[in-house]
Every structure is written in structure tokens, then in C-alpha cells.
Chain A
Amino acid sequence: MTMGPEVDARRASALPFVIAWIVILLTAGISAWTAFLGLGIWAPVIQFGIALFQTALLFVLFMRLKGAPSLKWVFAVSGFFWLMFLYGLSMTDYSNRQSWPPAQASTRSQLQVDQDHR
């Protein structure tokens, strides 16, 4: 709790926060490194996977969700929950658009690029 005569156990030591800070910076370095490896589609998968992991660390430790009352957990998670609804419903639209197979759209765009440079 935030109040009381004794120091909150979750605020007694800086060590977990320093360790989390080091882990976030190290994983950011790995994320940047993967950008130069030519991993294709796997590069963004790894990079955003790392971003999710870093976010979890920040949420749980820095934003004090660790041991927080469950109502705070509900709201912390509900943002991502509703975001998944948004993404899912939007993708049902896009995935059914005839003009949106990415490969075709990109090819058409590349043709436009070639025409621009002629």
C-alpha cells in the first residue's frame, strides 16, 4: 500500500528496478541487432515480441502492477483486450477486401514507383 508508517516492501529495495532497467536495455540492443541480420518477416516478429516483454516488465514493476489489487489488473489488461477486439474486427474487414492481398498491392505500388522514376 502507499500509506502506513512502515516502508512498503515493494518500495524497500531498488535492486529489482535496476535489474529490470538493465534487462530492458539489453533486450533493446538485441532488438536493434536483429534489424541488421536480414531475418525478413521474423525481424518484426522478434522486435515486437521483445517490445511486449519490455512492456510487461514496465507494467508489472515500474507501474507497480505487481501485487496490486485485481481491479487495477483488470483495467491494465482491458486496454490490450479491447485493442485485440479492434485489431481482430478490423482484420476481418481487410482480409476480405479484394484489393488487399498485400503482395498484389505492393506489386502495384512498385509498378507505380517504377513509373515515377521513368
Chain B
Amino acid sequence: MPADTRPVPEMQYATLEQQGETAQFGIWVFLTQETIFFGALIFTYFLYRITYPHEFAAAAKDAVLWCGSLNFVILVTSSLTMVLSINAAAQDARPNRMVRWLIVTVVLGFLFLIVKGYEYYLDFQDRVVPVLDFVAKPGEGSAGELFWVFYWVATGLHAIHLTIGIGLVLYMLLWRIRRGEITPAYYAPLEVVGIYWSFVDTVWLFLYPCIYLVGRS
């Protein structure tokens, strides 16, 4: 840890408060385009689902509900632990509690990816991988493959975003916190990562009913 850890604003900012607000504003600008990015993807899904309701219902029955539900719980819980780590950063001069919550967050992030990986393994076994190995089940027709294209693209993009989030949390743990740069006086970088993390969580709130709750009745 460097000898002088007093936070000083970057040269373009008058105060730390202004610097923190700018950082948070920046992540919201970024998330605006992310909203449109995932929103367009989900819109495409709805167009096809409205066009081929029976085929989508038949195809979605093969999605592994318990994996999607477990990952829902994992991701929402990781958002909570992320928020608790930011609370700890705001309250404690010593970083111990913040670090503990961040480690739990990273572990939950990896757990999500492990469950997702196992689900992909089951999908390969079930032969629902368009282009590589796809066998249409009765009632799906060729439109059922569209559902699975959406499934792989959407969950793949989400997993990439989550992996980036894990990288950002590790960066906080292994670099910024170790250097004493996250303190009750200035913890905006951790808040920015937390906002991004919760946004990735938000995407799953919509993918869950799109993928796992179709064709169950």
C-alpha cells in the first residue's frame, strides 16, 4: 500500500464528489446503450414467439428450468452481496468487510458460470445446439430452432457480460482496494462496478421468463 493514501481528485475535477458523480453518470450513459442492445434482442424474440407460439412452447420445454431458476437466485443474491460490499466501503475505514462481501460476490459469479456451463453440457446432450447438432423435437418444426438460436445468443452474451463483471470485481479486489484507493472518503469506482453488476442481473430478470417459463403448462 502506498504511504500516502489520501484521495485526491484527478486534475480535470474540482472535487472528489464531482469526480464520483461523473463516473456514475458515465456508467449510466453506457447502460443506456446496453438497454437498447439487449432490448432489441428481446424484441426479436417476441416477434418470433408471436409468430410461432406453438413451436416456441414446444422447443422451450427442453430448457433446463432448475438451472435457470438456480442461476436467478445466485445472480440476485450476488447483487445483494455487491451492494453490501459498497455499504461496507462507505461505513468502514478498514476494508475487511468490503473485501469479504466482494469475495462472496465473485464466488457467486463463478457459481453462475459453472451452473450455466453444466446447463450447456445438458443442452449438448439434448442436441439443441443450432448449426452444430440440432434435432427438432415433435411439434417444434423448423421454427423451434429459432428459439434455441435466441437461447444461445442471449445467454452467451449475458455470460460474457457477467465474465466482464467478475473481471471488474477482481480488479477492485486485487488492485484498487489493495492500493487503498477505495475508502469511505471515495468509493465511486466500486459503485460504478456495482451498478454494472446489477444491470447484468437485470438482463437475467427478463431472460428467465423468455427462456425457462415458456410452454410449461
Contact surface of A with B, Cβ cutoff 8 Å: 1-5, 7-8, 11-12, 14, 17-18, 21, 24-25, 28, 31-32, 34-39, 43-44, 47-48, 50-51, 54-55, 58-59, 61-64, 68-69, 71-72, 75-76, 78-80, 82-83, 86-87, 90, 94, 100, 102, 105-106, 109-110, 112-113, 116-117
Going nearest first, the 8 A-B pairs with the smallest beta carbon separation are A79-B35, A113-B141, A11-B90, A47-B209, A35-B213, A38-B217, A35-B216, A79-B32
Q: Which residues of B contact A87 (CB under 8 A)?
A: 39, 43
CB closest chain-A residue, reference B209: A47
Contact of B186 among A2, A28, A62, A102 (CB under 8 A): A2
A91 to B17, CA, bound (A): 43
A5 and B185 contacting across the interface, CB-CB below 8 Å: yes
A106 and B90 contacting across the interface, CB-CB below 8 Å: no
Contact of A58 among B15, B141, B184, B202 (CB under 8 A): B202
Contact of B91 among A12, A24, A34, A76 (CB under 8 A): A12
9 A-B pairs, CB-CB below 8 angstroms?
Answer: A11-B86, A11-B91, A35-B216, A36-B217, A50-B209, A72-B24, A75-B32, A76-B32, A109-B143
Contact of A39 among B28, B52, B69, B217 (CB under 8 A): B217
A18 to B76, CA, bound (A): 11
B142 and A112 contacting across the interface, CB-CB below 8 Å: yes
Contact surface of B with A, Cβ cutoff 8 Å: 15-17, 20-21, 24-25, 28-29, 31-36, 39-40, 43, 47, 50-55, 65, 69, 72-73, 76-77, 79-80, 82-84, 86-87, 90-91, 136, 138-143, 184-188, 191, 194-195, 198-199, 201-202, 205-206, 208-209, 212-214, 216-217
B72 and A36 contacting across the interface, CB-CB below 8 Å: no
B84 and A25 contacting across the interface, CB-CB below 8 Å: no
B31 and A2 contacting across the interface, CB-CB below 8 Å: no
B140 and A51 contacting across the interface, CB-CB below 8 Å: no
Contact of A102 among B40, B50, B139, B214 (CB under 8 A): B50
Q: Which residues of B contact A76 (CB under 8 A)?
A: 28, 31-32
Assuming A72-B25, A86-B36, A110-B54, is B186 touching A51 (CB within 8 A)?
no
A2 and B188 contacting across the interface, CB-CB below 8 Å: yes
Contact of A28 among B33, B35, B43, B72 (CB under 8 A): B72
A85 to B37, CA, bound (A): 14
